[in-house]
Amino acid sequence: MPMEELYAITTRELAKDLVFEIDDEPVTLSIRGVLLARTDSKGYNFSFFELSEEEFVLVVQMKGFVVYLGIESDEELEEEVYPELVRALLEHLAPQIALLITKAEKDYPGRADLLLDDDMSSDLKEFFYGLLVKHRQGKPVYEQTEVA
What predicted TM-score, i.e. pTM, was given to this entire model? 0.92
Query: pLDDT tens across 53-68, in order?
Result: 899 999 999 999 999 9
Taking a C-beta distance cutoff of 8 angstroms, is the pair 17, 124 a contact?
Answer: no
pLDDT (0 to 100) of residue 131 = 93
The domain limits of the chain are 1-137
Share of the chain above pLDDT 90, in %: 70
CA 8 and chain centroid, separation: 16
